[in-house]
Amino acid sequence: MSEHLARVHWQRNGAVFTDQRYSRAHRWQFDGGADIAAAASPGVVPAALTDASAVDPEEAFVAAISSCHMLWFLSLAAAAGICIDSYVDEAVGHMRKVDGRMAIAEVVLRPRIVCSGGAADSERLHELHEAAHDRCFIAHSVRCAIRIETPA
């Protein structure tokens, strides 16, 4: 068992607050030293109340799923003797109403992989993606659908 800590820090900085016009910008700090600008999504609150350059919770959710999947995939590929040179995923989360409430209903992973010595067998890579998905801690922790789209 392990624990995973995050410090989320926000300050009012003199804003009225009760008028709902306070800044949604805040910081995420992690035990390894990473300090990340975070804010509400500009798709959720007016642009003047957020920081569009910061990471929003919905983006972080998608990135966490993609990152967990990638880390398992790389581990399984290495164990299988397949040398991966690069892995790029243009993952996207789709928000919509689910049971009357807004939720990220689906995350689509779109990994593009370059292997040493050319492409590995696409069927073998597909098997590795399925195995990675089966092992991903984050995928086990969420209710939304996760779909993996790989090149044909």
CB of 133 within 8 A of CB of 107? no
Which residue is associated with the tokens 């008028």? Answer: 19
CB of 112 within 8 A of CB of 151? yes
Tell me, yes or no, whether 30 lies in a domain. Answer: yes
Q: Are 38 and 69 part of one and the same domain? A: no
Q: Which two tokens stand for residue 33?
A: 């030293």
Q: CA 74, 138, 131: angle at the middle one, nearest 5? A: 45
Tell me, yes or no, whether 1 lies in a domain. Answer: no
| Averaged pLDDT, 101-106 | 96
Give the residue numbers spanning the domain of 134.
Answer: 57-148
Q: Are 33 and 65 part of one and the same domain? A: no
Predicted local distance difference test score (pLDDT) of residue 119: 63
Q: Are 72 and 35 part of one and the same domain? A: no
120-133 confidence digits (pLDDT tens): 788 999 999 999 99
65-102 confidence digits (pLDDT tens): 999 999 999 999 999 999 999 999 999 999 999 999 99
Q: Are 94 and 111 part of one and the same domain? A: yes
CB of 28 within 8 A of CB of 36? yes
CB of 38 within 8 A of CB of 28? yes
> Hey, how many other C-beta atoms are within 10 angstroms of the C-beta on 115?
16
- Torsion over CA: 70, 108, 4, 38 (sign): positive
Q: How many domains does the chain have?
A: 2
Predicted local distance difference test score (pLDDT) of residue 130: 97
21-64 confidence digits (pLDDT tens): 999 999 999 999 999 999 999 999 999 999 999 999 999 999 99
